[in-house]
């Protein structure tokens, strides 16, 4: 089984690419953002808790996120590969994920792919997305800025964690969806060889 993390700033295209790649390689795609949005729509207890954070562009606390993530992961067995999209987003979560994989599969992360992109491009993409996605967290420039600040403060540091483990790969997330897709496919195919 192969474990691949997609991480990078909001708007870097992780979700779009995770959809393509999971379909192409028949991997399972786990997106914490999607899980949270589903809870919000269904107005579950968890949905009510996380909505306050998400609508402000803040990260949901680690414990809440990890509990939900573990519960979701436990529903899936006999899979060829997993794409982690949006988890881990903090150093604490990265350490938790290592523990979870060790316990559940006796395995570890094979690849952590960092989507590298300039902040100016993100702001443009997210403002454009807000017009079609209807997502609360895309709705104002202030919230978008918050998400980017949270990312630099809490998520970017996980790149050092994976660099030390020698599984970090950086890909350029600028350019067309097709170009990024090809870059990702090459990286993953090389790893599968």
Binding site for ligand ADP (CB under 6 A): 10-11, 14, 32-33, 36, 53-54, 58-60, 65, 86-87, 89, 93, 137, 147
Nearer to ligand ADP by Cβ, of 65 and 183: the residue is 65
Residue 91 CA to residue 18 CA, distance in Å, equals 22
Per the structure block, which two tokens stand in for 96? Answer: 């938790």
Residue 88 C-beta: closest distance to ligand ADP, Å: 6
Q: Considering the complex, state which of residue 80 and residue 172 has its C-beta at the smaller distance from ligand ADP.
A: 172
Closest of 27, 164, 185, 140 to residue 91, by C-alpha: 164
Cβ-based nearer residue to ligand ADP, 92 or 170: 92
For residue 192, the minimal CB distance to ligand ADP (Å) is: 25
Q: Give the three-class secondary structure for 141.
A: helix
C-alpha 171/C-alpha 51 separation (Å) is 31
We find the least distance from the C-beta atom of residue 190 to ligand ADP, in angstroms, to be 25
Which H or E run includes 20?
helix 14-25
- Nearest distance, CB of residue 147 and ligand ADP, angstroms: 5
Provide the total of helices (H) and of strands (E) in the chain, helices listed first: 9, 5
- Alpha-carbon distance of 110 to 192, in angstroms, equals 10
Q: Nearer Cβ to ligand ADP, position 80 or 131?
A: 131
The CB-of-49 to ligand ADP minimum distance in angstroms stands at 11
Nearer to ligand ADP by Cβ, of 93 and 130: the residue is 93
């Amino acid at each position: 089984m192969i474990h691949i993390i997609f991480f990078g700033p909001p708007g870097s295209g992780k979700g779009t690419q995770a959809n393509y790649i999971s379909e192409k390689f028949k991997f399972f795609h786990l997106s914490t953002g999607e899980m949270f949005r589903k809870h919000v729509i269904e107005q579950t207890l968890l949905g009510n808790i996380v909505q306050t954070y998400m609508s402000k562009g803040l990260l949901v606390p680690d414990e809440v996120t990890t509990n939900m993530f573990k519960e979701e992961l436990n529903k899936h067995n006999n899979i060829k590969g997993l794409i982690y999209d949006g988890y881990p987003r903090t150093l604490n979560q990265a350490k938790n994920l290592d523990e979870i994989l060790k316990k559940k599969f006796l395995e570890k992360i094979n690849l952590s792919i960092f989507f590298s992109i300039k902040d100016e491009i993100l702001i443009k993409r997210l403002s454009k997305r807000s017009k079609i996605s209807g997502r609360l967290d895309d709705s104002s420039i202030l919230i978008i800025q918050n998400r980017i600040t949270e990312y630099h403060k809490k998520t970017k540091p996980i790149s050092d964690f994976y660099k030390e483990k020698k599984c970090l790969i950086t890909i350029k997330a600028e350019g067309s969806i097709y170009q990024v897709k090809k870059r990702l496919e090459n990286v993953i195919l090389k790893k599968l060889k």
